[in-house]
Structure 1
Amino acid sequence: MRFLIVSFDGLRPDLVSPDLTPNLCRLQALGVTLAEHRTIYPSETRCAFPSLITGAATAGHGMVGNKYIDRSVSPPRFVDTSDAVLLRKLDLASEGRLMSVPSLGEILAARGRPMAVLATNTAGTTRFFHHKAEDFGHVRLSGHFRDVCTPDGVLAAAEALVGKLPPAPPENEPDTAGQDWITSAFLSVVWPKYRPDVTVLSFGEPDITSHVHGTGAAATRGIIAHCDRQFGRVLDWWEAEGRTEDVQIMAISDHGHITGHTRVSVADCLRGAGFRPGIALGPDVDVVVVPGQVGALYLSDPRDEHVARLVAAIAGEVWCGPIFTRAKNETEGIAPGSLGNHLALGDHVRAPDVSFCFRADHGVDSFGLEGGTFYDNDRRSGLGVHGGLNPKELAAVGVIAGSAFSGRGAVSSAPTGICDIAPTILHLLGFSKPESMSGRILHEILEHDSKALPHVRRETFEARLGKFRQVLQRVHVGGTIYIESGTADG
């Protein structure tokens, strides 16, 4: 049995339709749709994909944001996880502990099973799918970045058959060439020659185009349709050959998008509250504001009283959504008005002193899509953003087909998440689920397992500070926790 995971970066499940994505819909007819599939918090790409390949939330693997401050070194270091070279250096310097738990590639390699990656995401994201591929001689190909490709001969073989590696397009142009190249490389080289036990084929779109043009814009819908056509090539192969080779196919996304409607400046607000914000800790900076759609604030002096002052400063702002700090008890964070970051499954040593979402709503944007939010970047309003706890950000595509899975055209309403993919794969390969994996095995959709769903229990947590009120909603399936939403008002 082998596995092919096909990812569409940033694709909202409600954009999957017969008109726009006929091939994804074809897969739905052949398999099981996970109707309540979710990502983790922060709903950022380089948090979510580490969760895919470790089966753990950010509290487990430690990739707490697309960007974060590493305080394990002196002076503290700013880490941008889009930088694949930096990620390799950090992994080597930490003796293989870039991520705090084993990845799927490592687990498979220890059992003599190869894993392959083909991706058009950033160089850092591509590395994250299998950050130790070069250590095991496994295949990792980027659709654009030579430095991430390994082993050397595989890229040469792919270029000989498929054509030269295309350069990354300008930011305002949808990436069509990259998706074509990795699809052809999989079909022409990686599958015929290597037949990996697990392959990740990751389309870096529609995420980039949504950020630049808007989630429902014509350009974004166009690149969604283009990626679906490439997926159609893969699905044709699967129906003709892959299925007879007992390949299980999984189509996923890592998060959704909502629309930024009102631009704000967190740094300006903190400056007005008497803080000295900056992008790096130093003599003139007492709080680092890490850029991104998820608020990540690191204090030069993170004592409880300073954290409380920082929370009080942002809780009074109209743009501020749910706030998390290190835990005071089973529910509360150390700062009044905050929830413990363990409730959002983010209590790792790298976690910010204060993390927050921008306040989001259920408004409908100009494209007819639900979900809007405040944002802090230099782009115009009306564009796609993600990272927070709006249900449309957390919702992710999940469609699975193959001999191991029950039903054709079935829909599973059981809560599932991105952390469940790796433990389910390992289970089907005959390996036990590692203790490091917080995700669960999806027994209820397996052909030869019990269809009984474990007990489902919902819970709500609330915190207040003056007029500010936040609510976090979670659901338990057995011992596995999924975050449903986080809201704030006041």
Structure 2
Amino acid sequence: MSTCDSLTKGLIVSFDGLRPDLISPELTPNLCRLQSLGVTLSNHRTVYPSETRSAFPSFVTGATTGRHGMVGNKYVDRSVSPSRYIDTADAVLLRRLDLESGGRLMSAPTLGEILASAGRSLAVLATNTPGTTRFFHHKAEDFGHVRLSGHFREACTPDEVLAEAEARVGALPPEPPKVEPDTAGQDWITSAFLEVVWPKYRPDVTILSYGEPDVTSHFHGTGALPTRGIIAHCDRQFGRLLDWWEVEGHAAGVQIVAISDHGHITGHTRVFVADNLRDAGFRPGTTPAPDVDVVVVPGQVGALYLADRSEKQIARLVAAITRAPWCGPVFTRAKNETEGVAPGSLGNHLVFADHVRAPDVSFCFRADDRVDPFGLDGGTFYDNNRRTGLGVHGGLHPKELAALGIIAGSAVSAQGSVSAIPSGICDFAPTILHLLGIAQPETMTGRILHEVLKTGNKGVIDVCSEAFDARLGSFKQVLHRVHVGAVTYVRGGTAEG
């Protein structure tokens, strides 16, 4: 098949927060069936921060956080005065921000925009938050493309397609309480694709995103029975898609990809970052205010925004947090090719998070390899109001960065094979565009996954590793990266002392 075959289409199915090591014949027989039909990316990872609304923008832009600008699930917007706190879960707010900025909410073009400029279409069906659903194609209404949420009308467009789907499949189910696994939403978007979106609209590329098992992991634990139950349920819905693909989709030129945006580790020790900063003489708050000198953005990845952004104040802040036992790797704006401007910190460019929206100090909570009660490795300090033993993510532990990647279809080389060559979430968009015969923009930092394609170069691929470290007193951090040709992936980061 030519890489510019006009019959090529794509279906990308995402399982939010699914750890690849939870894939098994017993729990996920349909994902295992896809593995037997395609290629598994066994050394696949997401971006830093390993948060949903940084990772999925990386997926659709093919670019790291520093390129697309979604620096976290929440951030402080300093482009206006006074600065404002932004929660990207809000789809209506994201639309307003994009319009206010003249279409520059994202600092890099997205897959939907690129496809539209080439006369192609992208459809989205998702059960994630309204904001995440919009991020998959934040300009869908501008191009008349389909974007359907399994719960939230404000994230749906066009109205007539939603009406068709509700007439055929049933009314949008309400979002369940966070403590209840979301089964109805996954069923609805699967049926909407199979019964309405594909038969009538035949999008060139479809993103279908199950918002689980992420939420259930956050409220029950990554290996808990309810979480395993919703993983199995999502796998059954995926089985409906795979049945369709084997009967119809494969013959129609659809390449099918299964992904996740990040993994989870287990929170074992609750801490209070704001209290620690207050004890160190700072005046912390969760939103910008006249009496706040450091905004502590809520989340599992630490994002600290200073009112006084001087190097002296940044150094004072880094010195305060690195004395705490919960502090993991720390990043500030670059001083040189390696160091950040504060002693003990690394430059945030090393984790590709150097955007104008980036916090003055970002940090991971210190993580370790302890085994949780469910037999899963990876534990960490955390700062939220939930009990210990629950799933968290955002940092640089390898299990947080580990992500699912399986590709099958007529363009893929050997069925049932495994590729151990490092790859990442930014690589899917360039690969999809390559298969559609569309040039990728220079903003993309990902690479075409030639090694899994029939038409790809099967020569030797140069892979090499590197490490960076920084110290302050007894605190030491180490960042690990790996290069595949000209593309660099973050492998993980640790801290001690």
**Which TM-score applies when normalising by structure 1?**
1.00
Measured after TM superposition, the shift of residue 450 of structure 1 is: 1.3
Cα distance in structure 2, aligned partners of 1:430 and 1:201: 22
Cα distance in structure 2, aligned partners of 1:21 and 1:439: 28
Gaps of 5+ in 2: 1-7
Partner of 2:36: 29
2:339 is aligned with 1:320: no
Measured after TM superposition, the shift of residue 255 of structure 1 is: 0.2
Partner of 2:275: 268
Cα distance in structure 2, aligned partners of 1:453 and 1:121: 39
Pick aligned residue for 1:6 from 13, 33, 36: 13
Q: Deviations over 1:182-204 (max 9, x none)?
A: 00000000000011011000000
2:144 is aligned with 1:133: no
Measured after TM superposition, the shift of residue 341 of structure 1 is: 0.1
Q: Deviations over 1:206-230 (max 9, x none)?
A: 0000000000000000000000000
Cα distance in structure 1, aligned partners of 2:96 and 2:460: 43
2:381 is aligned with 1:396: no
Partner of 2:421: 414
Contact 1:336/1:464 (8 A) holds in 2: yes
The correspondence of residues 140-159 of structure 1 with structure 2, limited to 5 A, is 140-159=147-166
SS at structure 2 position matched to 1:20? coil
| Worse overlay, 266-275 or 449-458 | 449-458
Partner of 1:385: 392
Contact 2:301/2:395 (8 A) holds in 1: yes
The correspondence of residues 13-24 of structure 1 with structure 2, limited to 5 A, is 13-24=20-31
The correspondence of residues 182-221 of structure 1 with structure 2, limited to 5 A, is 182-221=189-228
2:236 is aligned with 1:229: yes
Cα distance in structure 1, aligned partners of 2:460 and 2:138: 34
Measured after TM superposition, the shift of residue 433 of structure 1 is: 1.9
Superposed CA RMSD:
0.5
Measured after TM superposition, the shift of residue 448 of structure 1 is: 1.5
Partner of 2:464: 457
Greater than 4 Å deviation, 4+ residue runs: none
2:436 is aligned with 1:440: no
Cα distance in structure 2, aligned partners of 1:272 and 1:213: 32
Taking structure 1 as reference, are residues 453 and 99 closer, same or farther at Cα in structure 2, changes over 3 Å only? farther
Partner of 2:490: 483
Cα distance in structure 1, aligned partners of 2:417 and 2:460: 15
Look up the equivalent residue of 1:65 and give its one-letter code: G
Contact 1:414/1:453 (8 A) holds in 2: no
Contact 2:282/2:294 (8 A) holds in 1: yes
Measured after TM superposition, the shift of residue 453 of structure 1 is: 4.5
Measured after TM superposition, the shift of residue 281 of structure 1 is: 2.2
Cα distance in structure 2, aligned partners of 1:384 and 1:321: 18
**Which TM-score applies when normalising by structure 2?**
0.98
Cα distance in structure 2, aligned partners of 1:94 and 1:464: 40
Cα distance in structure 2, aligned partners of 1:131 and 1:403: 30
Contact 2:217/2:223 (8 A) holds in 1: yes
Cα distance in structure 2, aligned partners of 1:60 and 1:275: 31
Q: Deviations over 1:299-335 (max 9, x none)?
A: 0010000000000000010000000000000000000
Q: Deviations over 1:236-256 (max 9, x none)?
A: 000000000010000000000
2:69 is aligned with 1:89: no
The correspondence of residues 220-259 of structure 1 with structure 2, limited to 5 A, is 220-259=227-266
Pick aligned residue for 2:354 from 340, 347, 353: 347
Of all paired residues, the percent bearing the same amino acid is 75
Cα distance in structure 1, aligned partners of 2:234 and 2:334: 42
Cα distance in structure 1, aligned partners of 2:225 and 2:67: 38
Measured after TM superposition, the shift of residue 432 of structure 1 is: 1.7
Contact 2:118/2:438 (8 A) holds in 1: no
Partner of 1:305: 312
SS at structure 2 position matched to 1:474? strand
Cα distance in structure 2, aligned partners of 1:151 and 1:400: 30
Look up the equivalent residue of 1:284 and give its one-letter code: D
How many residues were matched structurally?
490
Contact 2:149/2:155 (8 A) holds in 1: yes
Partner of 2:478: 471
Q: Deviations over 1:382-401 (max 9, x none)?
A: 00000000000000000000
Contact 1:444/1:453 (8 A) holds in 2: no
Measured after TM superposition, the shift of residue 451 of structure 1 is: 1.4
Partner of 1:103: 110
Measured after TM superposition, the shift of residue 291 of structure 1 is: 0.2
Contact 1:176/1:223 (8 A) holds in 2: yes
